Amino acid sequence: MPFVKIGFGNMVSAGRVIAVVNPDSSPIRRLIQEARDRGGLIDATSGRKMRSVLIMDSDHLVLSALTTNALAAELGIEAGTGEA
């Protein structure tokens, strides 16, 4: 199963990523807080600004300092279309 680079030497399994979303909306901020409370949050930002959130099929959230467009390119999809 291929891995996708999410920044600073961190990688996740590409097949387990459900969505890559922008963290600026209130619903996503609530999801982040809920994941933090239940222990399902993985912070891969290395102290940098969070620019995207990966939602995994294991019900984990992964925070990344890469933009959603950069991660879409890593996953091999065209940003905004959802098409591979």
Nearest-angstrom CA–CA distance, 78 and 84:
7
What predicted TM-score, i.e. pTM, was given to this entire model? 0.91
Residue ranges making up the domain that contains 51? 3-75
In a domain, 83, yes or no: no
**40, exposed or middle or buried, with CB in 10 Å at 0-12, 13-18, 19+?**
middle
Q: How confident is the model at residue 84 (pLDDT cuts 50, 70, 90)?
A: low
Nearest-angstrom CA–CA distance, 34 and 40:
8
Q: How confident is the model at residue 78 (pLDDT cuts 50, 70, 90)?
A: confident
In a domain, 47, yes or no: yes
Q: How confident is the model at residue 1 (pLDDT cuts 50, 70, 90)?
A: confident
In a domain, 82, yes or no: no
pLDDT (tens digit, 9 = 90+) per residue, 19-74?
Answer: 999 999 999 999 999 999 999 999 999 999 999 999 999 999 999 999 999 999 99
Domain count for the chain, please give it. Answer: 1
